[in-house]
Amino acid sequence: MKLIVILFIIKTVISLRSSDHHQLSIHKIPLGSEATFNWRIQPIDETVEIEIHYSADEFSWFAIGFSKRGEFKNADYCVLWIDWHRDVHFNDAWSNENGILNIDEHQDCNGFVWKKPDINNLTKFAFTRKFDTCDVHDYVIERGTTHIVWSKGTGPLSSLNGLDIIADSTSSSMSRTELLKFGKHINNIFPTDTWKYELLADQVRVPDVETTYWCRVQRLPHILSKKHHILQFGPAIQKGNEHLVHHMEVFHCAGSIDASVPLYSGPCDSPDRPQATQICKKVLAAWAMGADAFVYPKETGLSIGGEQFNPYIMLEIHYNNPERIKEKIDSSGIEFYLTETLRKYDAGVIELGLEYIDKMAIPPRQESFELSGHCIAECTGVGLPQSGIYVFGSQLHTHLTGTKVQTRHIRDGQELSPLNYDNHYSTHFQEIRLLPKPVHVMPGDSLITTCSYNTLDRENVTLGGFSISDEMCVNYIHYYPNARLEVCKSSISDDALRTYFRYMREWENQKTNFDDEISTSYKNIEWTKIRVAALHDLYQAAPLSMQCNSSDGSRLPGLWDNSAATPVKLPLAPPARDCPSINSHNNNLDQSM
C-alpha cells in the first residue's frame, strides 16, 4: 500500500512538471552516461525540486550533492541508500576533507519520494532543497555556476556514516550548470516568417580523449545577404550524445565583406587549421550543458547578415569524453531562429573589464588574487544614449585561473545591485546568461568588473593577454538599444606602472624597467607576501588608462589616460541571509564592536 502511494506521488510530480509551461520550466542535465538530474526552481519558497534517474543494481546507493568547485571532499550530499533489512533511507550528509560521509544533524533534503528500480534497473527519486538551509554543513545554492557532484556504489550498507564517497563508489562525476535560472521571457511571439537555421557539426568522429575542441567554418545561406534578426538560439544535440557535448560557441568571421575563409572542419588546435580562420572570433552565440535556448527580449534581436556582413561563421564544439567512449559520431550544433521582420532595436554587445594586455599581472602561488577593470562614469557619459540602455544578458569570461567574476554597478556614488556575478565561475562553463530582469544602465553610471584568480599551481607570474595561459577579466554585456560604446575597459595607467617599476628597482632591488618589455619586468620580480600585497594595493589605488571605444574601433572623445576610477561612496552591504541564528550571531558581533 505504501508503495502505491509513493508511485502515485512520483507520477503526479512528473506529470505536474510536464504540464506547467508558464513560468516554472523543468531543466535537465545528464550526469555522465548513466544518470540524469532534472530540476525546477520555486522562486517564492526559494527551493529547488530535484529528481534523479539512474540505473544500477537493486540495493545500490546514490549520492547527489553540491560543492564549491566540484570536489567530492567537503561536499554536501543527499543520499539514497538501503540497509541490510532492505529498508530504504534518504539522508542529508556531508563529506569531510577525506571524503568520509557524516549524517548531518540538520536534515535538509526534504519531501523524499522514490520509485523502485523497473525492469531496466532504472530508479527514480525526488526531493526538495532550500537554496539556503542556514546549516553550516550545507552548501548555499547561489546564482551563477553550481557544481553538482554525484557518486553511486553497491549496497546494501550497514550505515551511511563512514562511507567513503570516493573509494566506496563504483562511479562518480561532476557536472556544472546554472541551477538558479530566473530569466525567462514569456509572451514572446515570433513573426510568421521566422525560420530555423542549423549550424551543425558534420558527422564528427568524436576522439576518445577527454577534451576535444572541434571547429567548423560555414558560409551563411544567400538569403542572409539581407539583414535578419536572430530571435533565439539554442542547442541542437544529436540524440544519445547529450553527455558528450559540453559547450558550443558560434563565432562570426568578422572580416571585410569579400574576405574569403576556408571551410575548415577539424580540431581547433590542429596545425592544419588555416590561419585565415583565426578571424572567426566575434561571439554570436554561446551555449553550455544545462542551458536552455537563449531567447532575445521582444524589443530586440541580434543582427546577422546584410550587405556589409562577411558571410562566414564558425561553430566550435567542446566535446568532453572522460569515459573515453570510442566510435561516437556526432552532428550536434546550434539552431537559430531568424526573421527579416526586424524588431525595434538591434541588440548590442559591450565589453567590460580589463584590456587584453600585459600591464596587469597575477603573482604565482595565490589562492585568490583580484584584478578589476573599470568602465568609468565619463565613458558611459559620452557612450550611452540619454535614456540609457537595458542589459538583458551577460557572458563572463576569464581563462584558466579565474574562479569568480562580478560586475558592480554604481550610480552617483551609490552602489546598486550587481549587474551580474558568479562566485563559482569556471572557464570550462561559459554561457550567455539571461539576467533575472533587464538592468537599466544610464549615462554616468560606472561598472566595475572584478575577477579572482587562483594561481596556487603556477610557479611564474600570470600576465594579461590573449593566450590561454594568459588571463582575461571580461564581461560581455548584451543590451538594447544599440549604443556608440563597444569597449569600456581599463588597465593601470602607464605613469603609475612606470613609477612602480622604478620603485621596485630602486628600493627593492628588482630588475624592473618600464622601458623594457612590461612582461619581462613582471617576470623578473621575486614574489614575496609583502610584494604581492603591495601590488594589490597599487592596482586598487592607481589611476587608469581607459579604453573607451566605439563600435567602429575609434576612441570616443575624452581624456582617457590617468583617469580616476569612479568612487564608490556607498558600497552595497553583503546580501542578508534569511537565517535567524546566523543573523543574531552577526548582531552580537556588531554590539561587541
Ligand X SMILES: *[C@@H]1O[C@H](CO)[C@@H](O)[C@H](O)[C@H]1NC(C)=O
Residues in the chain: 593
Q: Does 118 bind ligand X (CB under 6 A)?
A: no
For this structure, is 213 an active site residue?
yes
Contact 337, 196 (CB under 8 A): yes
Three-state secondary structure call for residue 446: strand
- Give the shortest CB-493-to-ligand X separation in angstroms: 15
Q: Does 467 bind ligand X (CB under 6 A)?
A: no
Binding residue (CB under 6 A) for ligand X from 493, 549, 563, 566: 549
Please say whether the dihedral angle defined by the alpha carbons of residues 102, 129, 45 and 440, taken in this order, is positive or negative.
positive
**Of residues 554 and 588, the one with the C-beta less far from ligand X:** 554
Binding residue (CB under 6 A) for ligand X from 20, 45, 57, 202: 57
β-bridge mates for residue 518, sequence order = none
**Of residues 176 and 489, the one with the C-beta less far from ligand X:** 489
- Give the shortest CB-121-to-ligand X separation in angstroms: 4
Contact 327, 203 (CB under 8 A): no
Q: Does 355 bind ligand X (CB under 6 A)?
A: yes
Binding residue (CB under 6 A) for ligand X from 344, 555, 577, 585: 555
Binding residue (CB under 6 A) for ligand X from 87, 272, 307, 459: 459
Binding residue (CB under 6 A) for ligand X from 271, 553, 574, 575: 553
**Of residues 241 and 549, the one with the C-beta less far from ligand X:** 549
Q: Which of 537, 538, 563 is nearest to 548 (CA)?
A: 563
Number of residues that bind ligand X (CB under 6 A): 14
Amino acid at 180: L
Q: Which of 334, 254, 338 is nearest to 296 (CA)?
A: 338
Q: Does 487 bind ligand X (CB under 6 A)?
A: yes
**Of residues 187 and 554, the one with the C-beta less far from ligand X:** 554
Three-state secondary structure call for residue 338: strand
Stretch that binds ligand X, among 105-113, 319-327, 410-418, 547-555 (CB under 6 A): 547-555
Contact 538, 500 (CB under 8 A): yes
Contact 185, 298 (CB under 8 A): yes
**Of residues 224 and 451, the one with the C-beta less far from ligand X:** 451
- Give the shortest CB-291-to-ligand X separation in angstroms: 28
Q: Does 492 bind ligand X (CB under 6 A)?
A: no
**Of residues 123 and 303, the one with the C-beta less far from ligand X:** 123
Q: Does 552 bind ligand X (CB under 6 A)?
A: no
Contact 376, 489 (CB under 8 A): no
Secondary structure string (H, E, C) spanning 223-258: HHHCCEEEEEEEEECCCCCCCCEEEEEEEEECCCCC
Stretch that binds ligand X, among 73-81, 85-93, 553-561, 583-591 (CB under 6 A): 553-561
β-bridge mates for residue 375, sequence order = 447
Stretch that binds ligand X, among 295-303, 528-536, 546-554, 584-592 (CB under 6 A): 546-554
**Of residues 375 and 487, the one with the C-beta less far from ligand X:** 487
Stretch that binds ligand X, among 188-196, 201-209, 552-560, 563-571 (CB under 6 A): 552-560
Q: Which one is catalytic: 185, 213, 428, 503?
A: 213
Binding mask 516-535 for ligand X (x = CB under 6 A): --------------------
Q: Which one is catalytic: 246, 247, 397, 424?
A: 397
Give the whole-angstrom CA distance, residue 265 versus residue 218.
9
**Of residues 203 and 460, the one with the C-beta less far from ligand X:** 460
Q: Does 547 bind ligand X (CB under 6 A)?
A: yes
Strand order in the sheet with 35-42: 27-31, 35-42, 47-55, 122-130, 110-115
What is the dihedral angle through the alpha carbons of 495, 378, 571, 370, rounded to the nearest 10 degrees?
-40
Amino acid at 403: T
Binding residue (CB under 6 A) for ligand X from 12, 387, 460, 540: 460
For this structure, is 390 an active site residue?
no
Contact 114, 6 (CB under 8 A): yes
Please say whether the dihedral angle defined by the alpha carbons of residues 296, 433, 135 and 9, taken in this order, is positive or negative.
positive
Element (H, E) at 147: strand 145-153
Angle at 390 between CA 388 and CA 393, to 5 degrees: 145
- Give the shortest CB-523-to-ligand X separation in angstroms: 6
Active site residues: 213, 397
Q: Which residues bind ligand X (CB under 6 A)?
A: 57-58, 120-121, 355, 459-460, 487, 489, 547, 549, 553-555
